[in-house]
Amino acid sequence: MQNKRKKVLLLHTGGTFGMRVESDSQEVKPTTAGYLGELLAHVPELTSIAELDLQILCNLDSSDMRSEQWRVLAESICGRWNEFDGFVIIHGTDTMAYTSSALSFFMSNLTKPVVLTGSQRPLSVLRSDARANIIDAVELATLDIPEVCICFDSEVHRGTRVTKFSSEHMQAFRSYNSPEIGNFGVHFHLSRDIAKPLVANRVAPILDCRAVDNIIALDCIPGQTISNEVIESIVSSVRGVVIRGFGSGNLPINKSSWIALCQRALECRIPVVMATQCGAGMVSLNAYENGRVFVDLGVISGSDMSFESLTVKLMVMLGRGVAFEQRHQFFAEPMSMECVSGSSNE
Ligand code: ASP
């Protein structure tokens, strides 16, 4: 008996992948709706992997994606969940890891793959990585992997663990604090550590798209002072603060305006999360006095989360109206394998 042919929905959101290069200049222009269909017709192998349908949701540089587009994307996937075996999202690389984090948090109990891909060079140009990326992504979407992942340059990354690390290399993404979940070599290798659906017989994922946009992320640099006016303007205009401290989450404590900022924000019941400027390794606020001071103030540890999933988790926490007192617990419990469990303020 012949196996039933798998059906995959391609959802286009924009990015370099579908752009066309003007012949008289090297400027890349956004594609039109029909143009992407034509381009996909130039990757005929795709139709031998799966039966495809294409839906164009938007055509944005991914720098312009925000929680509203994440919601539309998640609802579009859930709305057509039963028609397809897997979903491939064509997305700009710049904020792909934020969108993959958001979709991982928005849709729980997946039973099918949701794969994001894109490219460093448009599909229509020489030496484009788009062709290989879309072939791998569609193939991945036919497999039994109930996760949101990013498929790029032969690697498969967990949606909540991945970071864009290069604007130049074809290998644009890395998962620093967690192994890749698979890779395409001569054969496809899949790690054994993939998600298992919690309720295997659910027909559709549970959808909760609430998230707010108005949080701020601040980077610490040596010797920096933050005036009271700036502190007041921050606390009067944002709902959450992320600080990228040094190393394991340390900030100046000697004549430090960071203490004043955290105190003032927490007084106003604005949650503050500590991230790190290091690409890899975890936030351990109890390791040094320069971290412990902030534990005592009530700052949340970003643990081993990627910066992208940490910021999106804060947006989700605020969007869901989680009580201020519950903030440490909310961050310590993994929602979608974004952190080691029980890690807040370790
Ligand atoms: N600026 C583009 C985007 O993120 C870059 C890309 O797709 O690689 O939409």
Distance CA 31, CA 42 (A): 15
In a domain? residue 266: yes
Nearest protein Cα to ligand 1, atom 8: 93
| Ligand 1 centroid, distance to 160 Cα (angstroms) | 19
* pLDDT of 7 strictly over 60: yes
Q: Are residues 95 and 234 in the same domain?
A: no
* pLDDT of 235 strictly over 60: yes
In a domain? residue 344: no
Bridge partners of residue 87, in order along the sequence? 9, 114
Are residues 123 and 39 in contact, defined by beta-carbon separation less than 8 angstroms? yes
Q: Are residues 52 and 149 in the same domain?
A: yes
> Which atom of ligand 1 is closest in space to residue 120's alpha carbon?
8
The model's pTM: 0.95
Q: Are residues 31 and 158 in the same domain?
A: yes
In a domain? residue 15: yes
Residues serving a catalytic function are 16
Q: Are residues 176 and 90 in the same domain?
A: yes
Q: Are residues 25 and 106 in the same domain?
A: yes
Q: Which of 69, 94, 121 should be mutated for ligand 1, with most atoms under 8 A from CB? A: 94
In a domain? residue 286: yes
| Ligand 1 centroid, distance to 173 Cα (angstroms) | 13
DSSP 246: B
The mean pLDDT of 267-272, rounded to a whole number, is: 98
* pLDDT of 346 strictly over 50: no
Q: Are residues 216 and 180 in the same domain?
A: no
The mean pLDDT of 288-297, rounded to a whole number, is: 98
Residue 173 or 25, more confident: 173
Number of domains in the chain: 2
Q: Are residues 240 and 124 in the same domain?
A: no
Q: Are residues 97 and 157 in the same domain?
A: yes
Last residue of a domain, one of 174, 203, 232: 203
Residue 56 belongs to domain spanning: 7-203
In a domain? residue 33: yes
Nearest protein Cα to ligand 1, atom 7: 92
In a domain? residue 80: yes
Ligand 1 contacts (CB < 6 A) are 14-16, 61-62, 92-94, 118, 120
The mean pLDDT of 141-147, rounded to a whole number, is: 94
Q: Provide the CATH number for the domain around residue 81.
A: 3.40.50.1170
| Ligand 1 centroid, distance to 87 Cα (angstroms) | 20
Last residue of a domain, one of 171, 203, 235: 203
Last residue of a domain, one of 203, 235, 256: 203
Residues 299-332 have pLDDT tens digits of 999 999 999 999 999 999 999 999 999 999 999 9
The mean pLDDT of 147-164, rounded to a whole number, is: 97
Q: Are residues 60 and 40 in the same domain?
A: yes
Q: Are residues 310 and 193 in the same domain?
A: no
Residues 56-75 have pLDDT tens digits of 999 999 999 999 999 999 99
Are residues 195 and 113 in contact, defined by beta-carbon separation less than 8 angstroms? no
**Distance set, CA 33 to CA 19, 114, 164, 166 (Å):** 11, 22, 27, 28
| Residue 39 confidence class, pLDDT cut points 50, 70, 90 | low
